[in-house]
Structures are given as C-alpha cells and as structure tokens.
Structure 1
Amino acid sequence: MPTESTAGADSAALMRERADAFVFYASDPDPQVRRAAIEGIGLFVADAHRAVAILRGRLPVENGIAERLLVVQTMADLALRLPAARASVTAPAVVPLLEGLLNYWHHEAADVLGRIGSEAKAVLPRLRQMLDAGYEWTRVFAAAALWDIGGEAEAGVVVPTLLTAWEENDATSNHVLACLNRMGPAAAPTLPRLRGNSRCAPPRRRFQGIASDEELQCDCRAILTCLS
C-alpha cells in the first residue's frame, strides 16, 4: 500500500507526464487537439517560463481568430495561476491583439482585458465606445472591463451602464452583481436599487440553476454588507 509520500510523488509524476503531453500536442495539426492541449498548458504546466514560451510561440502561427483568442485567454489563466507568467499577458504584442479581437469576440476579449487589469489601459477608449452598443451583454462586459482596468475613474459610467443592462435583461444579473461586488464602495449609488430589488430576494431558481442563484445571492449580500 503506497505511503502518503510515495502517493504524492506518484501524483507529481503523473502531473509532469500530463503536462508534457499537452506541450507535445500544442502544435498538433488537428485544431481540436491543439485547442485542448493549449487549455491544458494553462492548467497543468508548472514551469511558467516554459508555458509562456510555448503559448507566445503559438500566437504568430495560429491563423484563426478563435484560436488566437484561446491562446491569450490561456496566457491570462496561466498568469493567475503562476505569477511568474504575468509578463505573458502584459507583453506589448498581447494587448493590441486583444483590442483587435474586440471587433469579433467582444465579450471574451473584454473579459481577458479585464483580467489583465491596469496594464491594458490603452484599450479604455475602445471599451468606452462599446458602452453604446445596442446589445446589453456587450455593454456589461465592456463596463466590467472598464472597471477592472480603469478603476474608480470609470465608476461614473460603469454603474449606470450595469444597472441599465440589468433592467433590460435579468439574465445579466450575475455578471452585473459580480462587477458591483468588485467595485466595493464605488458601487454606493446602486444601494437604493439593490435594497428595493426583488432580484436580491431569496433565490428563484432562475436561468442557470442553483449554483448560479447562490452565486448571485452571495454577491448581493456582500455588496449590501459593504455599502450598509
């Protein structure tokens, strides 16, 4: 029967083997295999420098918009997991690429830019333009990215954009409340609306199941506690 130490060593060896497989298949000619491998690099490769080198090497050779976005998304996930990889998503080539991807994959690109944070400040003018979009989801993702990148200086446009989108489409509520929760005291203008809003009442088992409702309730409670 394996001891705790040998079990740990076996697990580490298995993780290294899995990581090596993802690295190998990241250049596979089959795009479906390649996509899965690239995502796996973000999750399992422990050597930040090795993972960054592989992902940055994929950017110039991936021709599809979706494939290039996936590489950058994986860089962002990697940077959250391994701080040493932070430079991979703040490199000069990455933010302009994401700004270009805003023309095609509005929500996904805005989400990655928000995760990059203040280093993506060059895209703030483009995100502000997106607040005029006719589609409320686009406005929500743009507003959330504006806050995550620009902080309190953007609160004056972020708060009304989020509340208007929420009124237009209740399905945006989880995203709206998650952003308001991140805003902390800057979300103070929303307090009267939140206190009188039935969507902060006990869960109604809305669109995405129990977990989604519980997440919404958690954000609601956190905001009300912070602002009360």
Structure 2
Amino acid sequence: MHILIIEDDTRVAQLISRGLKEHGFIPTTAYDGLQGKKLLEQNTYDLLITDVILPKIDGLDLCKEIRGKYPNLPILILTALGSTDNKVEGFDSGADDYLVKPFEMRELLVRIRALLRRNTNINIPTGNLLVYSDLEMNLSTKSVKRDNKEIRLTPKEFKLMEYMLNNPERVLSRNEIAEKVWDTHFDTGTNFIDVYINYLRKKIDKDFNHKLIHTKSGMGFILKTEE
C-alpha cells in the first residue's frame, strides 16, 4: 500500500516513514504542500497523511483541492493543532481522520488500517502477520511469501527470518543472532550463522530485483530495502 506523507518537519517525516516501512507500507515523503500536490498528480497513492501548517500550500487548502480531484483517497490530518475548532475545520476540508501530535506510532497505524479497510476492499494485515516491504510471514500458518510467491523455509530458517522481521533496519550481530535464535553463544571459529544467512538469501532474495538481507562488514546483518 503506497502512502504519501506531507510533513515539513524532517524528523517527524522520517519517524513516520520508518514506522510505515516496518509494517509493510511503501511511504513517499513531501516536505511542502506544493511538492505533495505535484506527487499526487504524478502518482497513485492509497492514503495521504498531511500536516496542516505547511510551506507553499496550506494543508487545509490542499485537502479541499484533493477531495475535489480524488474523492476516494483517504486523508488523515496529522497536526499539533488540537482544538475542537481545528478538528472541525479539518473534517470540513475533506479529511477522513484527524490525529493530534504528539502521537504514538501504534495509534497512527491503527488509524491507517481502519481508513484503508473503510475505503478499499483490501484486507490489511494485522495480528499474526509480520510484514516488511513485499515480504510477509504468517506466524499462525508458518508460511512465508514474497511478492505473493510462496517461500518454503526450514524451521531454523523460519526462526532466523522471524527474528530479522521483528528487528528490521537494525544491524544484528552474530552474537545476538546466536543468543536469540540458537540460544547459544557464538563461536568465532564457526560460520554456521553465515551459512544460514546464505540459505535465506537464496530463498528470500535470489529471484527478486531488490535485496532485503544485507551484510555489514565486521558488524553483522541487516534487513533493509536499500543497498
């Protein structure tokens, strides 16, 4: 699901983007209203998150314009303006939901999923699903898919992949993996962790354009979308 974020605070924008990636969404960020408007005209998005106070085009004015052009696009206003009058003005401008800063990422994700379920026929993953980029792991059925293609993992490969999915975009040392996945201390004289990472790469990355499992030389391994 592609989500456009229009937020002029770089730190907040990066926080939202990182949280969305970790839960399987594909975020794009604009740092002013005009840039956001241009992106909307050039691309298709499943949901919009926008601040109110923005450079170049005000968030409320942008909402009114978007609602006229894209009547089915879910819009969530995320702003520090939290009075009742502010909220009423936001909804009157065409927003579907309104969340006040500071916020918790968990609540933002719940609001996003609710809006997507309400505005589309797509079932948004929750509960026992771990999702990162186009990789999905179902903890109940013990199944793994990437780009909707079934991937068969051994029990130990599954446990290693599950740990990486629970800790995306963070370097995992061999010591940490040995303790958390194998419940043992890493012996520097062995390469069993590297062997299993290689097994996963062949199954998770080999047949796909972009790689998810990367090596940080001298440090460990990381699950991320970019090189």
TM-score range, shorter chain: 0.3 to 0.5
Higher share of residues assigned helix: 1
Which structure exhibits the higher relative contact order, with contacts defined as CA atoms closer than 8 Å and separated by 6 or more residues?
Answer: 2
Structure 2 length normalisation: TM-score?
A: 0.33
Higher share of residues assigned strand: 2
Structure 1 length normalisation: TM-score?
A: 0.33
